[in-house]
Amino acid sequence: GFGSQNILNNFISGLILMLERPVRAQDVVEVDGSHGVIQKIGPRSTHIRSTDGRHIVVPNSFFLESNVVNWTLSDDFMRSKVSVGVIYGSPTRLVKQLIEEVVAAEPRVLNEPQPKVIFDAFGDNSLNFDVYFWVEARSPMAMNEVQSRIRFAIDDVFREHNLVIAFPQTDVHMDTVAPLEIRLLGDAEKAADKPEPPSEPS
């Protein structure tokens, strides 16, 4: 009885998917954190080929009962973001200008909507910038390739202008009553400070 109910539920869900078309064959979807392309919508289940080549069989009722991200429902446009942080003291106006030039030179980035560079935050170790842009792509991998090229280009142009990409670092401040004594030991003093090895029992 429960098995028949499950089969009937998936069958009716398949009919609803075919009529309402919230997902279609060749749509790029995200299901439970996995991205893939819908290969076929059957009477009871939907076949998805993931980006790493796996075939995922999903019950049709899942698409009506769960949150499913359809990346290409209405069009192939996706918005993406690339973040970069530069060290304190960097010329922020120049950083913004260079990022805009890099994104404008990427052929896969759309001119409309126009890319936006945001000075996001004064971070603990860096001045953080985000650039938002739109790309016409049918898969997350295609988006990742565009992001990778932009990161390579940002790194190259920053090197040309002697701009340093920040990395985590910590400043240690020592508050003492008296000045710290610092000594440089010579070889003879180092040898004298070494403990003598224990003597072997006779």
Q: What is the pLDDT of residues 48-57, one digit of tens each?
A: 988 778 888 8
Contact by Cβ (8 Å): 82, 151: yes
The dihedral over CA atoms of 137, 142, 148, 151, expressed in degrees to the nearest 10, equals 0
* Mean pLDDT confidence for 66-94: 87
Residue that has been written with the tokens 């994104």 in this structure: 103
Query: 90: which 2 tokens?
Result: 């960097």
| pLDDT of 190 higher than 60 | no
Q: Looking at the predicted structure, is the pLDDT value of residue 4 above 80?
A: no
What would the two tokens of residue 13 be?
Answer: 């869900």
Q: Considering the entire predicted model, what is its pTM?
A: 0.66
What average pLDDT does the segment 155-163 reach? 96
Residue 116 vs residue 28, higher pLDDT: 116
Q: Measure the CA dihedral 63/77/140/39, to 10°.
A: 50
What's the pLDDT at 70? 81
Least Cα distance to 140 among 47, 51, 73 occurs for 51
Reported in sequence order, the residue ranges of the chain that DSSP labels E, i.e. its strands, are: 28-31, 34-41, 45-50, 55-59, 69-70, 77-86, 116-122, 127-136
Q: Largest alpha-carbon pair distance within the chain?
A: 96
Half-sphere exposure of residue 109, counting CA atoms within 13 Å on the CB side? 23
- Residue 121 in this model has a pLDDT that exceeds 80: yes
Which tokens hold the place of 197? Answer: 């090895």
User: Which is more confidently placed, 66 or 83?
Assistant: 83
User: Would you say residue 103 has pLDDT above 70?
Assistant: yes
Percent of the chain with pLDDT over 90: 36
User: What pLDDT sits at residue 201?
Assistant: 60
Q: How far apart are CA 132 and CA 103, in angstroms?
A: 9
Per-residue pLDDT, 3: 55
